[in-house]
Amino acid sequence: MRLKDFKVISFACYGTLIDRDYGVYAALRPLMSEGGVALTREQAAARFVEHEALQQAETPALPYSEVLARVHRRLAKEWGVIASDDDHALFGKSVGDWPAFADVPAALRYLKRYYRLMLLSNADRHAISASIRRLDVMFDAMFTPQDIGTVKPDRGNFDFLVNRAQKLDIPKHRILHVAHSLTRDHIPAAAVGLSSAWIERRRQGTPPTPAPRHVQCEFRFPSLVDMVRAHQEELSS
């Protein structure tokens, strides 16, 4: 299997293209400071991800800014911090401040020359639009819970992606899903028969994460620029 065999690349956004952990940690620092909560970026992001998944499972149709506001409220309760509605709302609006990974804009511009690019996200269109401005590329399609009615890891999200691509005469075996999250993306993608590329994005100096045996990923790269290099090597071979 080669990267150049695909016609469509679908991306997860946050954690893959946008540095969610950095953005969340920066936006949570006032709450953590107020409560004297001492967590690393990775620890704070892990608590955020757990509450975000629970909240979105409960309210999949809720605008992402409101999801974030409710997650902030949940974290304040968990950490025993008194926070105002304005504090929760401010965190809810922080998604537009989350930065793109440094390698992403140039990598997307390169990939756009060879593939149709799609986004499959748990955030709503308003939140995604704020992030796309940081990515510096036009996507051919964007699918959100507003379109689908469910959130990842529900396999219905990936069935929806496959059906939309097939309407463009692109069969399933020509779609490559690219994401960071094994649980939200790679497991359900494999369940519907999609090939995937794991963008691991480990911190510098951190050893590679062993891929769980039950997770199927056809490709694995430390960053998006490494995926671009692999594609370039295929073209030159």
Q: Are 45 and 51 in contact (CB under 8 A)?
A: no
Segment holding 54, helix H or strand E:
helix 41-58
Question: In the prediction, which pLDDT does 189 show?
Answer: 96
Q: Which residues of 74-99 are buried (b: 16+ CB within 10 A; e: fewer)?
A: bbbeebebebeeebbebbbebbeebe
Percent over 90 (pLDDT), the chain: 84
Q: How far apart are CA 114 and CA 9, in angstroms?
A: 10
**Alpha-carbon Rg for the chain in angstroms:** 18
Model confidence over 56-76: pLDDT tens digits?
Answer: 989 888 899 999 999 999 999
Q: How far apart are CA 197 and CA 221, in angstroms?
A: 7
Residue 214 clears pLDDT 80, i.e. is over it: no
Q: Structure pTM?
A: 0.90
The mean pLDDT value for 159-179 works out to 96
Domains of the chain in sequence order: 3-19+99-236 (3.40.50.1000), 20-97 (1.10.150.750)
Closest CA to 95 of 75, 119, 72, 77: 72
Model confidence over 4-28: pLDDT tens digits?
Answer: 999 999 999 999 999 999 999 999 9
